Chain A
């Protein structure tokens, strides 16, 4: 505990003056210029708000914000990663159908997925050690295969290589574990998918998210809420509705604004519960 009497008043004033000086400098600098880190943080905030509200406009704004950061050599790898992640989420939003129908939704999905691949390739070129980038690339390849099964023969291998690289770089990265689990969930059994492996992955990812300590707020931090959402989906599929509800509630504990769970998954669960009780 701090004790006022134990701190010499003169030196305290000096400390406070310096602190004020620094804060004032930061404050005015922040108004005047928007360095890469500030832009990245702002982009992340806009992206998170957009995802919570399912608002494509905010996602597009976030994408534009990240694009500006690509001019900064020190943060370019992260900026490209976040552009790709935004594209990935835009695709999810386009697929969810919550947006008004465009003229060529399928075409836009493919363009955005291709853009995500390009951005991740640049990101990896600049920082080969990013497990997050390799894992997301694996997932994007998976989405392209979903849209173009014909590409499965080639992209399936690339996807496998990317997730293996991610696991090698950071086996305990919860987003890497989550992405592999989602892949296991979405891939048909005949193509090597496994719901059991997926469930194991969701549970491990949940544990890893609770242990994750982010040293840098600029680094990727998404996925904790999604992990519980996927866990709930897996339980729903098994008919374990009580456990599914627990998982969705945990997702909302982590992120009370999580629109996917609040407005899509929970109502779906409730409908299933009602059907069972009848």
Chain B
């Protein structure tokens, strides 16, 4: 102890002089080091108010300071010459200033921080886009889709609750902004779904073929969509299938009309995953339970199955093998003026798709090779047809963010469709009497469409984001090249409010069979639409408001013609206003819901039958639904017990009345004499659907959901069409097949 004290004293005495000498020496040395520059100044916001606690720094160095409460800062630096000083704070655009520093300088800088309004990685420049999925920016979360009352856990039906999608009938068909259902293209993992509906009909079908639990997310664009999407006049629904399963999951669902099984297995965690789903639908029990069995001779039934293998071969590279098949059939009694009989339909389709995604030197490359095969059999009276088609598609998309302010995307696709028709079809449209004349068909038509596009997404200023692009397509049967320029602009009025403008040209080629020499026209060209869109959007946490107006002139639409079978003589327009308001989040807030209202005016040149004669009139299109209102409301009652209501009101669709008839075939059947096209409307459509669900978690992450729903609560007998007696002297109303009906079931999820 004593010794150590001495040591300390010695150390102190010896060191003081040496330390001071050393310090003097070093000070002299330091004096040789170049003098430093001093930077001082303040950071303010756009309104000139001081910004405290902002990081101010010379980029690429650790030299800097945090601002004080008065927004002022001061620091010294040895760096000289051209330097960039930067102020950064979360929620604000970085403020930068280039300085030229010299030793001994004292530089005063004033930096202005502006609130970050648009970040390119989160921006959806496109107007009229709605999305579903788990992303924070999704319009509807996945759970909201499957719990939408009246949507029957169907993606297409849930999307019908968005504005711009008209309630032409009670099916799942997506009639968008005055366009026909065929003007909406449906994609899954870049592959085209040529027949996306179950129980197909001229208005689409009853459900979409892709079950919601197979889909990770969707983007639905009701207009103004970018150049990456081609061969669609009105809208695009793009879906992404599920990726690698993260854990073992087994799901079982049993409902009144369906049973399903799902298996998700990470075979080699993080490397190889397998997903399987199988679904069997059997509606007979449901219709019997609800006392509505009589209308079907074969109750709608079917199955679908999916097997996917996902191989993550590197941190950035993934191969996804997606295989899907679906089959449905039904038999229904149909009263036609010319024939009173049973319609039988059966449809089978397959989708095989290999998708390859990887990143090469900052370029995201996505490539898909797909085969969509479809086969059907339709039989009623003299109609006995077996249509089918095979669609092969190869598509590549390449994307890169070149900076924080710009990204580019380009790609190409080739799609070959081979359609075949075997059987007999009525010689006179709608004359289904088995004794009436028929065409006998055994035809095969093939067409190839190739397309390419390029898009640039830019953020030239902090308030403006723009997507400009151009695409070109060539069709082998039309032998025509089309070029479609498109542009979307988003101008941020504030952090939560922006204005969107879009314009573009859109072309769609007729289906291959429409080029046939017998009943089609080999000289057909592409159909064209032009989109003009202006909208206002406001989003703030739980609230989303959108208002959009659009104008869509059509040209060169395919029109039936008595001499040439088909021509490009059709034209028309659609214009309207869409309003969308959403509040809350499912399960997060006690109440959540959305309201969609659309006003639409749609006019097209259409045929008017006057016995054997046909004349043309510009009139309301069959999908001119003037007012379309949907209100969805969901309530969390207690714990995980939730209920929901969906109310729909839509103007009845236009119909062309039959005012007389012309006897044909010695009076065995009659040809209608129509009044003005679209001069009458069906009664307004109204429907209320309700649902109740209870979610219960048990064990280590397992859960079970019980659900109960009432469709068409008020048993509304909505009129879906008028039907005539054989001589067209009497008209009756055909009402909905879906009066009040109950549905219930349970879904069990087991996770390991």
- Chain A positions near chain B (C-beta within 8 angstroms): 1-4, 7, 12-13, 16-17, 19-21, 23-25, 27-28, 32-36, 39, 57, 60-61, 63-65, 67-69, 71-72, 104, 106-107, 110-112, 115, 148-151, 153-154, 157, 161, 190-192
Select which of B25, B30, B57, B62 is within 8 A of A32 by beta carbon: B30
Which of the segments B5-13, B198-206, B414-422, B486-494 contacts the partner chain? B5-13
Contact in complex: B22, A21 (CB < 8 Å): yes
Instruction: For chain B, residues 63 to 91, give those with C-beta under 8 angstroms from any C-beta of chain A.
Output: 63-64, 66-67, 69, 76, 78, 88, 90-91
Q: A68-B64, A71-B60, A151-B134 are in contact. Are A17 and B22 (CB under 8 A)?
A: yes
Binary flags per residue of B141-156, CB closer than 8 Å to A gives 1, else 0:
1110000000000000
CB nearest to A17 among chain B residues:
B18
Chain A contact residues, majority secondary structure: helix
Chain B contacts for A71, CB-based, 8 A: 57, 59-62
CB nearest to B76 among chain A residues:
A32
Contact in complex: A23, B3 (CB < 8 Å): no
Additional pairs, 13, CB under 8 Å, beyond known A20-B18, A68-B55: A1-B1, A24-B23, A28-B27, A32-B76, A57-B52, A61-B66, A63-B53, A107-B540, A150-B143, A150-B585, A151-B136, A161-B246, A192-B700
Least CB distance, B211 to chain A, in whole angstroms: 17
Contact in complex: B62, A13 (CB < 8 Å): no
Q: A24-B26, A34-B63, A60-B52 are in contact. Are A12 and B246 (CB under 8 A)?
A: no
Contact in complex: B14, A33 (CB < 8 Å): no
CB nearest to B54 among chain A residues:
A64
- Kindly state whether residue B36 has any CB partner on chain A within 8 Å: yes
Contact in complex: B4, A2 (CB < 8 Å): yes
Least CB distance, A137 to chain B, in whole angstroms: 15
Expressed in whole angstroms, the Cα–Cα distance for A149 and B588 within the complex equals 6
Expressed in whole angstroms, the Cα–Cα distance for A28 and B27 within the complex equals 8
- Kindly state whether residue B586 has any CB partner on chain A within 8 Å: yes
- Kindly state whether residue B375 has any CB partner on chain A within 8 Å: no
Binary flags per residue of B460-479, CB closer than 8 Å to A gives 1, else 0:
00000000000000000000
Contact in complex: A111, B3 (CB < 8 Å): no
Chain A contacts for B64, CB-based, 8 A: 68
- Kindly state whether residue B19 has any CB partner on chain A within 8 Å: yes
Chain A contacts for B701, CB-based, 8 A: 192
- Kindly state whether residue B247 has any CB partner on chain A within 8 Å: yes
Contact in complex: A190, B4 (CB < 8 Å): no
Chain A contacts for B6, CB-based, 8 A: 4
Chain A contacts for B700, CB-based, 8 A: 192
Chain A contacts for B61, CB-based, 8 A: 71
- Kindly state whether residue B271 has any CB partner on chain A within 8 Å: no
| Residue count of chain B within 8 Å CB distance of chain A | 58
- Kindly state whether residue B188 has any CB partner on chain A within 8 Å: no
Please name 22 pairs of A and B residues whose Cβ atoms are closer than 8 Å in the assembled complex, sorted by A.
Answer: A1-B4, A2-B3, A4-B7, A17-B22, A21-B25, A21-B26, A24-B22, A24-B23, A32-B33, A32-B78, A34-B63, A57-B53, A57-B69, A60-B53, A64-B53, A67-B55, A104-B541, A107-B540, A107-B541, A149-B588, A157-B246, A157-B247
Chain B contacts for A153, CB-based, 8 A: 134, 142-143
CB nearest to A106 among chain B residues:
B541
Chain B contacts for A57, CB-based, 8 A: 52-53, 69
The interface centre, meaning the residue of B15, B91, B587 with most chain A CB atoms within 10 A of its CB, is B15
Least CB distance, B240 to chain A, in whole angstroms: 14
Expressed in whole angstroms, the Cα–Cα distance for A35 and B63 within the complex equals 8
Contact in complex: A3, B3 (CB < 8 Å): yes
Chain A contacts for B59, CB-based, 8 A: 71
CB nearest to A56 among chain B residues:
B53
- Kindly state whether residue B697 has any CB partner on chain A within 8 Å: yes
Chain A contacts for B3, CB-based, 8 A: 1-4
Chain B contacts for A107, CB-based, 8 A: 540-541
Select which of B14, B66, B586 is within 8 A of A64 by beta carbon: B66
Chain B contacts for A111, CB-based, 8 A: 90-91
Cβ-closest 3 pairs across A and B: A60-B53, A64-B66, A64-B55
Expressed in whole angstroms, the Cα–Cα distance for A157 and B751 within the complex equals 11
The interface centre, meaning the residue of B26, B33, B36, B61 with most chain A CB atoms within 10 A of its CB, is B26
Least CB distance, A103 to chain B, in whole angstroms: 11
Instruction: For chain B, residues 126 to 150, give those with C-beta under 8 angstroms from any C-beta of chain A.
Output: 134, 136, 141-143
Least CB distance, B55 to chain A, in whole angstroms: 4
Q: A12-B10, A28-B26 are in contact. Are A69 and B143 (CB under 8 A)?
A: no
CB nearest to A13 among chain B residues:
B14
Chain A contacts for B67, CB-based, 8 A: 64
Expressed in whole angstroms, the Cα–Cα distance for A24 and B15 within the complex equals 12
Chain B contacts for A63, CB-based, 8 A: 53, 55
Expressed in whole angstroms, the Cα–Cα distance for A148 and B57 within the complex equals 34
Binary flags per residue of B24-68, CB closer than 8 Å to A gives 1, else 0:
011100100100100000000000000011110101111110110
Least CB distance, B94 to chain A, in whole angstroms: 11
Least CB distance, A128 to chain B, in whole angstroms: 11
Q: A63-B53, A64-B54 are in contact. Are A69 and B62 (CB under 8 A)?
A: yes
Contact in complex: B62, A20 (CB < 8 Å): no
Chain B contacts for A148, CB-based, 8 A: 136, 585, 588
Contact in complex: A16, B63 (CB < 8 Å): no
Q: A17-B18, A20-B22, A150-B586 are in contact. Are A68 and B246 (CB under 8 A)?
A: no
Least CB distance, A269 to chain B, in whole angstroms: 30
Chain B contacts for A7, CB-based, 8 A: 7
Contact in complex: A34, B587 (CB < 8 Å): no
Q: A34-B63, A63-B53, A150-B587 are in contact. Are A20 and B15 (CB under 8 A)?
A: yes
Chain A contacts for B60, CB-based, 8 A: 71
Chain B contacts for A2, CB-based, 8 A: 3-4, 7
Q: A4-B3, A115-B90 are in contact. Are A25 and B52 (CB under 8 A)?
A: no
Least CB distance, B600 to chain A, in whole angstroms: 32
Chain A contacts for B1, CB-based, 8 A: 1
Chain A contacts for B78, CB-based, 8 A: 32-33
Least CB distance, B104 to chain A, in whole angstroms: 15
Contact in complex: A61, B53 (CB < 8 Å): yes
Expressed in whole angstroms, the Cα–Cα distance for A27 and B23 within the complex equals 9
Q: A23-B19, A153-B143 are in contact. Are A72 and B62 (CB under 8 A)?
A: yes
CB nearest to A107 among chain B residues:
B541
Expressed in whole angstroms, the Cα–Cα distance for A69 and B60 within the complex equals 10
Expressed in whole angstroms, the Cα–Cα distance for A13 and B585 within the complex equals 74
Expressed in whole angstroms, the Cα–Cα distance for A17 and B143 within the complex equals 73
Expressed in whole angstroms, the Cα–Cα distance for A153 and B27 within the complex equals 62
Q: A68-B62, A72-B62 are in contact. Are A190 and B697 (CB under 8 A)?
A: yes
Expressed in whole angstroms, the Cα–Cα distance for A59 and B599 within the complex equals 52
Instruction: For chain B, residues 577 to 610, give those with C-beta under 8 angstroms from any C-beta of chain A.
Output: 585-588
Expressed in whole angstroms, the Cα–Cα distance for A151 and B585 within the complex equals 10
Select which of A17, A33, A149, A192 is within 8 A of B587 by beta carbon: A149
Least CB distance, B700 to chain A, in whole angstroms: 6
